[in-house]
Structure 1
Amino acid sequence: MSKGKWKLSNLYLIAVFAVLYAPILYLMFYSFNSGGSMREFEGFTLEYYNEVFQDTRLLIIVLNTFIIALLSAAISTIIGVFGAIAIHYIRSNRPKGALLTLNNVLIVSPDVIIGASFLILFTLAGIQLGFTSVLLSHIAFSIPIVVIMVLPKLQEMSGTLIDAARDLGASGWQVLSKVVLPYIKPGIFAGFFMALTYSLDDFAVTFFVTGNGFSTLSVEIYSRARQGVSLSINALSTLIFLFTVVLVIGYYFINKRNNVRPGAKEGSL
């Protein structure tokens, strides 16, 4: 009976992953099609990848996308870490619960509403739509993600560590830099990578707050897809997907190394 359940669960997982990855693999397969369509594969070619790398405007958009993603991830990680620490050390349950609720509402709110709200805000504030508006928007919706990733590590940390550091004469800054931040480092890395991924992936919010002369990959792919089917979109999407896979694998190995290192030290002692 258990073997039957095990087989059934594996078949279910295979079916789920097939539904998720089949369209991506289909898109990647036809990015090498010399026929110029996704109806029939006529032959292998790298023509559309050459088009991507020879398109100067597209390369600038790629650079803009990664600059926005890295800056927003870094800034939102710094703000989110200190925000999570502030929420964690609030003694009263009512304001603490209110702040957590407000933080979670921003995560589950529809992107269309967030994007429209930012558009109205920037218009009223007189901020020109472009690099600045996109960066501020990405920082804003990434901060709650970082808070959610860091808070569990703070909750795992024993208060005796901080008490011991203070008994040894550590100042507030030393407690933060030598005890708290090293302990929650896995959560900080997780928050940074999640913020980076969300920024690279975001379309709805960016679509509202981007202006003329500035664009990101998600908005550019959308605008090109509306003009008609072009396999250069397939090539570009394939490159983005492979880059995302590299990021995920890199984060996996970093996280694995951080988890194994304490055990190795204990074993050596």
Structure 2
Amino acid sequence: MNKTLKWSNIYLVVVFAILYAPIVYLMVYSFNSGGTMHSFEGFTLEWYSEVFSDTRLLIIVLNTFVIALLSAAISTILGVIGALAIRHVRRRHSRNALMSFNNVLIVSPDVIIGASFLILFTMIGIRLGFTSVLLSHIAFSVPIVVLMVLPKLQEMSPSLIDAARDLGASSFDVLTKVVLPFIKPGIFAGFFMALTYSLDDFAVTFFVTGNGFSTLSVEIYSRARQGVSLSINALSTLLFLFTIVLVIGYYFINRRNSRPAAKEGGR
């Protein structure tokens, strides 16, 4: 038993080492004064100061976060509504069909999704830029929110809703005071997942972005094609650290929300 546990631990260490070694390598050389990724000559913050002194890059960062926050907020609202609608479908076959349609955007390749949105926006006359990127991010984030919220709805006992209605609660009161508080962990999970997906997306954004508007992922790709620059390392490091902060924030929020539920379950 101990031997098996030891080998499983070694396996996990090796897997995580392979996954994180390139990221660590990128982060270390973002402090290299030599200007290359071949030999580390000394510690410097020059590449970070170059990132923060680039006005165009700061505007792109602002665009990225505005798109991510707006798409996450709107997709969370739409995803919660969609999950509630799917939950209230009585027929099992209809519910499964709706879930299958919901999962299409998740399992479809990003290239196909991006090309489809590009054709759609061109046909209906939407100019490629802020609006097209926002609509695309909302579209592929909504199914993710539905998948995060729906399990919490399935965990909720129908007796809670029946009890609230027996006590005279209106439909709005049932929704706001019973259902939404119960599924709040799923809502937070969906919001943070949508936010992370929006920040990291490249393939879909590459198709639907236009001249004069860009996001961090597209900008990093464009700069990487022009040649190796350690400012790309610095920019990528900052983006990775921000993602880590989001994950840690979600962990603590989820942990704080799970404590009251555990206490109620213990009673």
Q: TM-score range by the shorter chain?
A: over 0.9
Aligned equivalents of 2:26, 2:182: Cα separation in 1: 42
Match of 1:93 in 2: 92
Q: State how far apart, in whole Å, the 2-side matches of 1:94 and 1:232 are.
A: 53
Q: CA deviation at 1:266?
A: 7.3
What does 1:1-269 align with in structure 2 at a 5 Å threshold? 2-264=1-263
Which string of whole-angstrom CA distances, capped at 9 and with x for unpartnered residues, describes residues 94-128 of structure 1? 21111100111210100000000000000000000
Aligned equivalents of 1:123 and 1:262: distance in 2?
A: 49
Amino acid at match of 1:222: Y
Does the C-alpha gap of structure 1 residues 18 and 164 become closer, same or farther in structure 2, counting only changes over 3 Å?
Answer: same
Q: What displacement does 1:200 show?
A: 0.2
- SS of the equivalent of 1:128 reads coil
Q: Structure 2 regions of 5+ residues with no counterpart? A: none
State how far apart, in whole Å, the 2-side matches of 1:91 and 1:66 are. 39
User: Residue 152 of structure 2 aligns to which amino acid in structure 1?
Assistant: K
The letter of the residue matching 1:30 is Y
Give the alignment's Cα RMSD to 1 decimal: 1.1
How far apart are residue 198 of structure 1 and its match?
0.2
Q: Distance in 2 between the 1:167 and 1:256 partners?
A: 32
* 1:1-25 deviation per Cα after TM superposition (whole angstroms, max 9, x unaligned): x011000000010011001100000
Name stretches of at least 5 consecutive residues in structure 1 with no aligned partner: none
Question: What SS does the corresponding residue of 1:99 show, helix, strand or coil?
Answer: helix
CA distance in 1 between counterparts of 2:24 and 2:87 reads: 43
Q: Distance in 2 between matches of 1:172 and 1:97?
A: 26
1:222 shift after superposition: 0.1
Offset at residue 263 of structure 1 (A): 3.6
TM-score by length of 2: 0.98
- 1:217 is displaced (CA, Å) by 0.1
Q: Distance in 2 between matches of 1:210 and 1:158?
A: 44
Deviation at 1:265, TM superposition (A): 6.4
Letter of the structure 1 residue corresponding to residue 146 of structure 2: V
C-alpha displacement at 1:37, in angstroms? 0.2
SS of equivalent to 1:90: coil
Deviation per residue, 1:134-154 (Å, 9 max, x gap): 000000000000000000000
AA aligned to 2:120 is L
Percent identity over the alignment? 78
After TM superposition, the score normalised by the length of structure 1 is 0.98
2:174 & 2:258 partners in 1: Cα distance?
22
Distance 1:262 1:96, change over 3 A: closer
CA distance in 2, matches of 1:251, 1:215: 27
**Cα distance in 1, alignment partners of residues 161 and 107 from structure 2:** 34
Deviations 1:30-76 (A, max 9, x none): 00000000000000000000000000000000000000000000000
